[in-house]
C-alpha cells in the first residue's frame, strides 16, 4: 500500500498527549516503563490516524464523531498519498486547493467519437473548450478551503496537503470556525453541529448543504469501521439515537436551488440547468439544431440502460459545454465536492452522449466530475453516494436491472460499425470503483454458484488490485500505482504471455497494450463471462472470439463463480456475426425513413464459444434527424437480438443466429 505520513504538525505539535485522548480513540496504551511488543508497536502505528482525530477533536473542541463523519463522507478516511481529488481536494478531510491541483490536471480520455452516433445526422466538431484554471478570486469558496485552513491553524499549505494528521487538524479548525460564525457554542453534542457541517460542504444552496449534512449524520448514526489506503484502522462508534438541529440551516443565508421539474429522488440535491433545444444555422448557413432530440420515452421506446461517464473537466466548464446548443448533451451531471446533481435533459428525451445512436435512444447518461487518466484524482464518497441514489431511483422508475449489463461505463458502449470502434471513448476507466458503487446500489457482487456454474463475475479486491498502466501523462509514462477495477487477459495462462488482440481496435492484428485508455484486453468489475478453461491459478473466458486467460488464484480470487444463460452459435453454424447496434431489417422501414444498414462488426462468435446474455430486444431505430419533431418515428422490426458481454464492450447478436443454453458445465 502507498505510504502516507501520519504525524502531528511541526508548527504546532498535536501530540497525543493524554491517555484520555487515546482511550477516547479506542487505542490500547502500554503501561509506563513497559517496552511494547512488536504487535503493540504495529497497533500503535496503524491507529495513528484515529489518534489524530482524537487530538484534533480535543484541540478545536469539535466532537470526534463529527470529524470522523465528515471525513468519511469526503474520503472514507483515505489520504490518497497526498494526491488531489478531481476538484483539488487533499487528505482525509478533502481540503481543497484548486489552484495547486487543477493547473496540472489532464483533460480528455481517448476517443474521437461522434457523441450522437447516427450517420443520418452526424455531429460537427465541438466549439466549446474547457476553460483554463480560473484565478484565485474567480474560484468559489468550496474550491479553496485548504488555504483558509492554513490561515486558521498556522500550518503550511504543503503540510495540510501531504500530512494526514495536519489535514484532520485543518478540517477541525474549519468546522470550529463555521460553528462560531453561526453563533453556536463549541458543544460536545454532535446534534448541535448541523449548520457547521452543512457549511463545510461548500454548497451555496440549501438543498445541497442539507443533503450533505444529512449524509454525515447518517454515517454517525450507523457508525463505520475500515482500514484506509495507508493501512490505518479507523472506527466511528454508532450513535443511533442522534437527532441533529436541522433548523440551523434556515439562518445560514444559502440560496434556494432551482429544482424546476427535475427527475431526482428526494434524498439528493438536484437542480434544473437545461441543455438548449435550439434551431440555428451551421457554418454554411444551413439549418441545424442541438443538442439533443425530443422524444416520448418510455411510451415510445424503453429505457434499458444507464451510462456512467466522467466529465474530463471541471464543473463550471462542464456546465458551459452542456449549455452549448451546437454540441453534446447528457441527462445529469454530478459534482465531486458535495455530490450535487444538475439535470439537463428530461429522461423522456434522447441526449447525445454515448457515441452510439441505438444506445443513446435507449439510455440515460450520467457525467461525474473527474479525469480518467489521473488515477489519484479520486472521487469523493459524497459523489459516489449521490450517484448511487440517483441510479437506484432511475432503475426503479424505468425497470432497469441493477447489473453490469444495464449499468454501463461509457467504455462499455460498442462502436456502431467497424469504422467507429477505434474512436469510442474509454471513460470512466479502470479507476472507477465498480464494487463500491454496486455496494452502494445495494447489489454487491458475490459468488452465486460453485466451480461448475460455468460463469465468472469479475470482482478483484479494488485496493489490492494494482495493474501497471501507461499513458497517464506522456504515452510511455507509467501511471501512479493505484487500486483498479480492471483485470487483464492474456493469450496463455502466464504473466508474460501477450495480451489478447482486439481486431476491431487494431485491424492489423497488433497486440493490445497496457495504456490506460486501451480496453482491448480488459475485464471490468461486475462483468460476467463464460468460462472456457481453468489451469491452476488461471481462468480462461470467451472474449472477443478468443480464449482469454486471467490470473484468478484461489486464495485471492479476481473473479467469483456464477451461473446463468449464455448464447452459442446454432447447431451447424461455424460462426455468427456480432453487431454494434440492434437495428431492424430493411423491410421494417416506412416510406420517408432512410433504411439503416445492419452492418456486422469484424467480430465473430465461433462454434463452441459462449457469451453471457442480457436483454432480448427487437430491432429498433429512432429516426430523429430534424428539429421539427413531426417526422420523428420509432421503427421497430421483427428481427430480435440478444445483448451480450462480448469483450470489454457489449455487443449484439441476432436471435435467429444463436441458441440460448444454461451456463452450467
Lowest mean pLDDT among 96-100, 156-160, 360-364: 96-100
Give CA 355 to chain center in angstroms: 18
Residue that wins the pLDDT comparison between 89 and 378: 89
Give the DSSP H or E segment for 559.
strand 559-562
Place 30 in a pLDDT band, splitting at 50, 70 and 90.
very low
Question: Higher confidence at residue 88 or residue 341?
Answer: 341
Looking at the predicted structure, is the pLDDT value of residue 559 above 60? Answer: yes
Summarised one tens digit per residue, pLDDT across range 260-278 is 789 999 889 999 999 999 9
Q: Is the model more confident about 454 or about 80?
A: 454
Model confidence at 151: pLDDT above 80:
yes
Alpha-carbon distance of 363 to 305, in angstroms, equals: 5
Contact criterion met (CB below 8 Å) for 9 and 169: yes
Distance set, CA 583 to CA 587, 588, 617 (Å): 11, 10, 10
Q: What is the pTM of this model?
A: 0.88
Q: Is the pLDDT of residue 93 over 90?
A: yes
> What's the grid cell of residue 245?
438541529
Distance CA(540)–CA(530), nearest Å, equals: 9
CATH 1.10.530 occupies which residues in the chain? 19-102+134-251
Residues 306, 395 contacting (CB under 8 angstroms)? yes
**Residue carrying the nine cell digits 474549519:** 174
Give 231-244 pLDDT, tens digit per residue.
999 999 999 999 99
Would you call 585 helix, strand, or coil by DSSP?
coil
Rounded distance, CA 482 to CA 649, Å? 23
Q: pLDDT class for 83, splitting at 50, 70, 90?
A: confident
Helices (H) and strands (E) in the chain, counts: 14, 28
Question: Confidence class of residue 326 from pLDDT cuts 50, 70 and 90?
Answer: confident
The sign of the CA dihedral 555, 559, 560, 562 is: negative
CA distance 7 to 162: 10
Residue 480 grid coordinates = 501512479
The three cell numbers of residue 470 are: 501507461
CA distances from 269 to 194, 208, 211, 385, 550 (A): 17, 5, 6, 12, 41
State the DSSP code for 354: S
Selected residue with higher pLDDT from 108 and 373: 373
Tens digits of per-residue pLDDT, 464-519? 999 999 988 777 888 888 889 999 999 999 999 999 999 999 999 999 999 999 99
128: left (phi over 0), alpha (psi -120 to 50) or beta: beta
Mean predicted lDDT score pLDDT of the chain? 88
Model confidence over 533-554: pLDDT tens digits?
A: 999 999 999 999 999 999 999 9
CATH class for domain 19-102+134-251?
A: mainly alpha
SS (H, E, C) 278-341: EEEECCCCCEEEECEECCCCCCCCCCCEEEEEECCCCHHHHHHHHCCCCCCCCCEEECCCCCCE
- Contact of 74 with 94, CB cutoff 8 Å: yes
Q: Which three-class secondary structure string do you get for 491-538?
A: CCCCCCCCECCCCCCCCCCCCCCCECCCCCCEEECCCEEEEEEEECCE
Which residue did the predictor score with more confidence, 5 or 93?
Answer: 93
Cα 511 from chain centroid (whole Å): 28
Question: 77 is written with which cell numbers?
Answer: 478516511
First-residue to last-residue Cα distance in the chain: 38
pLDDT of residue 11: 41
The pLDDT value given to residue 2? 34
What is the per-residue pLDDT across 370-394, written as a single tens digit (0 to 9) for each?
A: 877 665 567 788 899 999 999 999 9
Q: Is the pLDDT of residue 333 over 70?
A: yes
Q: Which of 87-96, 566-575, 616-625 has the weakest average pLDDT?
A: 87-96
323-334 mean pLDDT: 91
Mean pLDDT to the nearest integer, 356-376: 87
- Report DSSP state, residue 125: P
Distance, CA of 96 to CA of 86 (rounded, Å): 10
Q: What's the CA angle centered on 140, arms 137 and 143, to 5 degrees?
A: 105
Please check whether residue 493 is in contact with residue 538, taking contact to mean a CB–CB distance below 8 angstroms.
Answer: yes
Instruction: Identify the bridge partners of residue 58 per DSSP, sorted by sequence position.
Output: none
Place of cell 517496552: 35
Residues 625, 209: Cα–Cα separation, whole Å: 41
Identify the pLDDT of residue 374: 64
Closest among 88, 124, 114, 148 to 316, alpha carbons compared:
88
pLDDT given for residue 29 in this prediction: 28
Span 258-430: which CATH code? 3.40.80.10
CA distances from 250 to 6, 247, 256 (A): 38, 6, 11
C-alpha 146/C-alpha 142 separation (Å) is: 10
**Residue 410 grid cell:** 461509457
Nearest to 223 by CA among 99, 64, 86, 116: 64
Angstrom distances, CA of residue 248 to CA of 179, 203, 207, 251: 11, 15, 13, 6
Distance between CA atoms of residues 370 and 88, nearest Å:
11
**DSSP 3-state of 565:** strand
CA separation for the pair 395, 407 (Å, rounded):
9
Joined grid coordinates for residue 154? 498556522
Q: Per residue, what are the HEC states of 240-264?
A: CCCCCCHHHHHHCCCECCCCCCCCC
Whole-number pLDDT of residue 318: 87
What pLDDT score was predicted for residue 32?
Answer: 28
**CA nearest 501: which of 647, 601, 609, 605?**
647
pLDDT at 523: 98
pLDDT at 259: 72
Judged against a pLDDT cut of 70, whether residue 91 lies above it is answered with: yes
Q: Is the pLDDT of residue 654 over 80?
A: yes
Instruction: Return the H-helix or E-strand segment holding 560.
Output: strand 559-562
Contact 601, 582 (CB under 8 A): no
The tens digit of pLDDT for each residue in 616-633 reads 999 999 999 999 999 999
Query: Residue 147 above 90 pLDDT?
Result: yes
Residue 35 reports pLDDT greater than 60:
no
* Residue 123 confidence class, pLDDT cut points 50, 70, 90: low
Please give the Cα distance from 642 to 655 (Å, whole number): 6
Locate CATH 3.40.80.10 in the chain. Answer: 258-430
Alpha carbon 606 to its chain centroid, in Å, reads 34
Residue 276, all three cell numbers: 438548449
- Do the Cβ atoms of 647 and 410 come closer than 8 Å? no
Comparison of pLDDT for 551 and 7, the residue scoring more: 551
159-192 residue pLDDT tens? 999 999 999 999 999 999 999 999 999 999 999 9
Amino acid at each position: 500500500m502507498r505510504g502516507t505520513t501520519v504525524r502531528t504538525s511541526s508548527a504546532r505539535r498535536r501530540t497525543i498527549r493524554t491517555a484520555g485522548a487515546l482511550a477516547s480513540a479506542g487505542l490500547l496504551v502500554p503501561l509506563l516503563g513497559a517496552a511494547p511488543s512488536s504487535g503493540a508497536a504495529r497497533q500503535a502505528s496503524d491507529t495513528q490516524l484515529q489518534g489524530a482525530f482524537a487530538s484534533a477533536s480535543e484541540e478545536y473542541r469539535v466532537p470526534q464523531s463529527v470529524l470522523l463523519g465528515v471525513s468519511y463522507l469526503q474520503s472514507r478516511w483515505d489520504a490518497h498519498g497526498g494526491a488531489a481529488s478531481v476538484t483539488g481536494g487533499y487528505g482525509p478531510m478533502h481540503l481543497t486547493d484548486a489552484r495547486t491541483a487543477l493547473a496540472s490536471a489532464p483533460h480528455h480520455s481517448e476517443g474521437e467519437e461522434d457523441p450522437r452516433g447516427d450517420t443520418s445526422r452526424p455531429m460537427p466538431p465541438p466549439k466549446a473548450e474547457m476553460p483554463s484554471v480560473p484565478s484565485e478570486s474567480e474560484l468559489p469558496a468550496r474550491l479553496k478551503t485548504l488555504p483558509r485552513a492554513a490561515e486558521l491553524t498556522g500550518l503550511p499549505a504543503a503540510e495540510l496537503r501531504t500530512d494526514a494528521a495536519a489535514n484532520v487538524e485543518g478540517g477541525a479548525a474549519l468546522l470550529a470556525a463555521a460553528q462560531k460564525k453561526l453563533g453556536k457554542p463549541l458543544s460536545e453534542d454532535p446534534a448541535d453541529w448541523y449548520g457547521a457541517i452543512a457549511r463545510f460542504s461548500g454548497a451555496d444552496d440549501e438543498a445541497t448543504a442539507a443533503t450533505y449534512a444529512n449524509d454525515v449524520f447518517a454515517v454517525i448514526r450507523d457508525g463505520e469501521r475500515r482500514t484506509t489506503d495507508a493501512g490505518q484502522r479507523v472506527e466511528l462508534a454508532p450513535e443511533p439515537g442522534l437527532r441533529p438541529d436541522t433548523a440551523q440551516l434556515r439562518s445560514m443565508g444559502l440560496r434556494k436551488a432551482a429544482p424546476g421539474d427535475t427527475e431526482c429522488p428526494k434524498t439528493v440535491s438536484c437542480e434544473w440547468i437545461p441543455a438548449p433545444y435550439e434551431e440555428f444555422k451551421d457554418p454554411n448557413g444551413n439549418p441545424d439544431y442541438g443538442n439533443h432530440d425530443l422524444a416520448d420515452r418510455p411510451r415510445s421506446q424503453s429505457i434499458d440502460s444507464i451510462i456512467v461517464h466522467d466529465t474530463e473537466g471541471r464543473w463550471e466548464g462542464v456546465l458551459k459545454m452542456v449549455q452549448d446548443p451546437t454540441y453534446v448533451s447528457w441527462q445529469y451531471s454530478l459534482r465531486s465536492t458535495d455530490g450535487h446533481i444538475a439535470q439537463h435533459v428530461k429522461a423522456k428525451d434522447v441526449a447525445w452522449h454515448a457515441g452510439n445512436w441505438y444506445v443513446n435512444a435507449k439510455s440515460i447518461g450520467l457525467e461525474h466530475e473527474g479525469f480518467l487518466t489521473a488515477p489519484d484524482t479520486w472521487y469523493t464518497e459524497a459523489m459516489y453516494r449521490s450517484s448511487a441514489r440517483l441510479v437506484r431511483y432511475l432503475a426503479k422508475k424505468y425497470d432497469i436491472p441493477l447489473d453490469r449489463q444495464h449499468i454501463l461505463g461509457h467504455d462499455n458502449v460498442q462502436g456502431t460499425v467497424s469504422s467507429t470502434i477505434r474512436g469510442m471513448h474509454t471513460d470512466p476507466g479502470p479507476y472507477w470503483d465498480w464494487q463500491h458503487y454496486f455496494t452502494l446500489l445495494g447489489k454487491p457482487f458475490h459468488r452465486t454458484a460453485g466451480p461448475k456454474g460455468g460463469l465468472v463475475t469479475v470482482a478483484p479486491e479494488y485496493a489490492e488490485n494494482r495493474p501497471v498502466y501507461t499513458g497517464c501523462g506522456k504515452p510511455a509514462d507509467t501511471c501512479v500505482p493505484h487500486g483498479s477495477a480492471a483485470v487483464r487477459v492474456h493469450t496463455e495462462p502466464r504473466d508474460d504471455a501477450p495480451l489478447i488482440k482486439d481486431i476491431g481496435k487494431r485491424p492489423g492484428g497488433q497486440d493490445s497494450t497496457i495504456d490506460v485508455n486501451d480496453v482491448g484486453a480488459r475485464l471490468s468489475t461486475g462483468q460476467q463471462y463464460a468460462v472456457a478453461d481453468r489451469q491452476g491459478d488461471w481462468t480462461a473466458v470467451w472474449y472477443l472470439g478468443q480464449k482469454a486467460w486471467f490470473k484468478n488464484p484461489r486464495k485471492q480470487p479476481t473473479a467469483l463463480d456464477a451461473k446463468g444463460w449464455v448464447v452459442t452459435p446454432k447447431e451447424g453454424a461455424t460462426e455468427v456475426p456480432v453487431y454494434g447496434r440492434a437495428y431492424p431489417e430493411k423491410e421494417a422501414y416506412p416510406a420517408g425513413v432512410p433504411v439503416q444498414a445492419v452492418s456486422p462488426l469484424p467480430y465473430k462468435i465461433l462454434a463452441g464459444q459462449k457469451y453471457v446474455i442480457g436483454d432480448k430486444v427487437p430491432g429498433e431505430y429512432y429516426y430523429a434527424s430534424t428539429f421539427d419533431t413531426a417526422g420523428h418515428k420509432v421503427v421497430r422490426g421483427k428481427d430480435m437480438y440478444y445483448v451480450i458481454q462480448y469483450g470489454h464492450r457489449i455487443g449484439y447478436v441476432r436471435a435467429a443466429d444463436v441458441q440460448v443454453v444454461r451456463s452450467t458445465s
